[in-house]
Homo-oligomer: A and B are copies of this chain.
Amino acid sequence: MDELLGGGIPRGRVILVTGGPGTGKTIMCAQFMFNGITKYGENGIFVSLEEAKHHFYREMANFGFDFPELEKQKKFIFLDASPIRHMPEEVQIGRIRVGRGDFSIDSLVERIRTSADMINAKRIALDPLTSLTLQYADISKRRTAILDLIEALMMRDATVLVTTELRQLGPQRSVELEEYITHGVITLQTLSIKRSRLRVIQVDKMREREIDLQPKPYRITEKGIEVFPKENIFE
């Protein structure tokens, strides 16, 4: 991974992990977190917008990521933010009414900050961002909301991964605005190459890094995501 990224993900930045269904976006976030804690002593927070805690723990145990242990050691916090979707459409705060979208982002940021302070977190993952941004039908407000969220997350001197879901497959796809607003973009895809389907990772953007643009094959094995940076997918 580090070779692709020209030396790891830069500190203080928000990086987008985008990909089709089943390409391992959640696994990549968990692996980034687990390695950070166990190899570099960087504590982490996983903010889950959809998956429940026990499901996440059980699934990640398959890859040898023992998050319950890390949680016990106060090196890891799992923030279950999925209740956000049960909030009413509008919330009455004093004399003003706030839409669910704005309120949930504000309170979510608040909770992430408090948790990050508690364990001095250096790595944060938010999975999936889609769950928050879908609430803004108007593209201009959606952009403002994502910009605000990213700015808020940047205040922590930590590296942040956020995931989104590709809405369209194929070469003519439209570009989602999250790809412009975040500071780096990693794309995970399943491509049909040489009469076989292959998982392919590609770095499209990484501020402050000289990246390798070439797509590389990867596999989801019992150790998590394994990238093969020496292989050319076309040869």
Taking beta carbons and an 8 Å cutoff, which residues of A are in contact with B?
20-22, 50, 52, 55, 58-59, 62, 82, 85-86, 128, 130-131, 134-135, 137-140, 143-144, 147-148, 151, 154, 165-175, 177, 179-181, 184-185, 190, 192, 195-199, 202, 204-208, 210-211, 213-215, 220-222, 232, 234-235
Contact = CB atoms under 8 A, between A and B. Distances in A.
Given A22-B206, A202-B197, A205-B21, A173 B165 contact: no
A186 B147 CA distance: 26
A21 B178 CA distance: 9
Contacts of A195: 232, 234-235
Contacts of A206: 22
Given A50-B147, A174-B168, A195-B234, A210 B220 contact: yes
Contacts of A175: 20-21, 165-169
B128 A134 contact: no
A59 B207 contact: yes
Contact of A185 (B22, B55, B192, B205): B22
A111 to B, nearest CB: 20
Given A50-B147, A213-B199, A205 B22 contact: yes
A54 to B, nearest CB: 10
Contact of A198 (B148, B172, B184, B213): B213
A22 B208 contact: no
A151 B82 CA distance: 11
A202 B204 CA distance: 19
Contact of A172 (B20, B147, B169, B192): B169
A221 B211 CA distance: 10
Contacts of A180: 21, 128, 130, 165
A172 B174 contact: no
